[in-house]
């Protein structure tokens, strides 16, 4: 891999990127190779951080919602697809994480990436999790978050996560944290993140449609931070062949099941980059972190608005295993 040298980061002005791109569906090795190429592209544009979407390695199980009968008891086709997903899920730590860590060290860039994670040893063996990994520019796995409550039909695939990872961690792009999809409607999960002092929050979604845009903008305003709202791309042709005969027509219109919608939002809730739909693109932008200081004058949810004389908040770091 070509080594990219970057200028030292200005602590108040950072460049970030969103990789709005489809993985190679249900193929973790090919998806990893594509991720490494996208990371290098972001580094060549002097980005200090690049974010990927929900369960990007090796793709989101959209078939749960768009294929009739996929969630029915003892559906043999669903079992076959789940077996492929399980086989192509990553372990943490593991080969894929090691490859990403090596790339971060070589390219001097941090990443946040969603993954299907499989537990291969000890308590919880065999369980899959919807996980979000943050690897810093020195190659360290700085954060490992598992989605607290899989949303609706997702519970057929993933187990419940735990309190670990509900925090921001230092990177060259500032303090970076993240939540997964409907966790953004969990007020106490948001409070845990706000208390950790995020500069940049990565909000990963399947598609960042209107409701998800509202949640992302609300998070930026409430947390007085920048939000990278990251949407997935999934073409209709990526639907597993075992379930294609039962696909509904609504989600696949235009050739996409997951449409992207990625955007960057400032701490005043205004768009830095407007939502981008229906195309793969590397979105790159400079963020002025002094905007966080300016917007905190009127509202600071963990500061002068916290009222610790009236309220007490506690996060428990429980282990799902």
Angle at alpha carbon of residue 249, lines to 243 and 252, rounded to 5°: 80
Three-class SS of residue 77? helix
CA–centroid distance for 260 within its chain:
13
Q: Tens digits of per-residue pLDDT, 47-104?
A: 999 999 999 999 999 999 888 888 888 889 999 999 999 999 999 999 999 999 999 9
Looking at per-residue pLDDT, the higher value among 321 and 182 belongs to 182
Upper half-sphere CA count for residue 291 (Cβ side, 13 Å): 22
pLDDT confidence band for 159 (50 / 70 / 90): very high
CA dihedral 216, 222, 225, 230 (to 10 degrees): -10
Rounded CA-CA distance 267/60 in Å is 29
Query: Could you tell me what percent of the chain has a pLDDT over 90?
Result: 82
Q: Tens digits of per-residue pLDDT, 201-259?
A: 999 999 999 999 999 999 999 999 999 999 999 999 999 988 877 676 555 556 899 99
198 is catalytic: no
Question: What's the confidence (pLDDT) of residue 7?
Answer: 39
Among 67, 96, 137, 181, the active-site one is 181
Question: What's the confidence (pLDDT) of residue 89?
Answer: 98
Question: What's the confidence (pLDDT) of residue 9?
Answer: 44
pTM of the model: 0.93
Question: What's the confidence (pLDDT) of residue 244?
Answer: 75
Among 34, 147, 198, 242, the active-site one is 147
* DSSP code, position 280: -
* DSSP code, position 207: S
Question: What's the confidence (pLDDT) of residue 4?
Answer: 41
Question: What's the confidence (pLDDT) of residue 271?
Answer: 98
What are the φ and ψ backbone dihedral angles of 63, each rounded to 5 degrees?
-60, -20
H/E stretch holding 79: helix 76-87
Q: Tokens standing for 307?
A: 């009222």
Least confident of 94-103, 188-197, 259-268, 305-314: 305-314
84 is catalytic: no
Question: What's the confidence (pLDDT) of residue 319?
Answer: 59
pLDDT confidence band for 279 (50 / 70 / 90): very high
Rounded CA-CA distance 56/10 in Å is 30
In the predicted structure, residue 190 carries a pLDDT above the cut 50: yes
Among 28, 34, 54, 117, the active-site one is 54
67 is catalytic: no
């Amino acid at each position: 891999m070509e080594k990219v040298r970057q200028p030292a980061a200005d602590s108040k002005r950072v460049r970030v990127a969103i990789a709005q791109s489809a993985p190679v569906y249900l193929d973790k090795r090919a998806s990893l190779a594509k991720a490494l190429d996208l990371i290098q592209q972001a580094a060549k544009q002097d980005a200090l951080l690049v974010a990927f979407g929900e369960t990007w390695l090796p793709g989101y199980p959209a078939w749960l919602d768009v294929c009739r009968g996929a969630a029915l008891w003892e559906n043999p086709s669903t079992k076959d697809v789940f077996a492929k997903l399980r086989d192509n899920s990553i372990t943490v730590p593991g080969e894929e994480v090691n490859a990403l860590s090596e790339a971060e060290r070589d390219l001097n860039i941090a990443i946040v990436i969603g993954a299907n994670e499989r537990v291969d040893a000890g308590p919880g063996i065999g369980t899959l999790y919807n996980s979000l990994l943050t690897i810093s520019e020195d190659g360290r796995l700085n954060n490992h978050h598992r989605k607290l409550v899989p949303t609706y039909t997702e519970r057929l695939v993933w187990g419940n996560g735990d309190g670990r990872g509900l925090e921001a961690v230092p990177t060259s792009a500032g303090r970076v944290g993240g939540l997964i999809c409907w966790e953004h409607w969990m007020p106490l999960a948001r409070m845990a993140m706000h208390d950790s002092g995020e500069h940049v929050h990565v909000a990963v979604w399947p598609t960042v449609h209107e409701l998800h845009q509202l949640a992302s903008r609300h998070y930026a305003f409430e947390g007085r931070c920048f939000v990278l709202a990251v949407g997935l791309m999934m073409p209709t042709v990526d639907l597993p062949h075992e379930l294609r005969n039962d696909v509904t027509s609504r989600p696949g219109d235009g050739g996409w099941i997951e449409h992207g919608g990625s955007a960057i939002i400032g701490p005043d809730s205004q768009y830095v980059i407007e939502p981008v739909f229906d195309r793969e693109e590397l979105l790159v932008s400079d963020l002025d972190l002094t905007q966080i200081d300016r917007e905190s004058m009127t509202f600071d949810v963990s500061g002068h608005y916290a009222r610790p004389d009236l309220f007490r908040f506690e996060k428990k770091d429980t282990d799902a295993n």
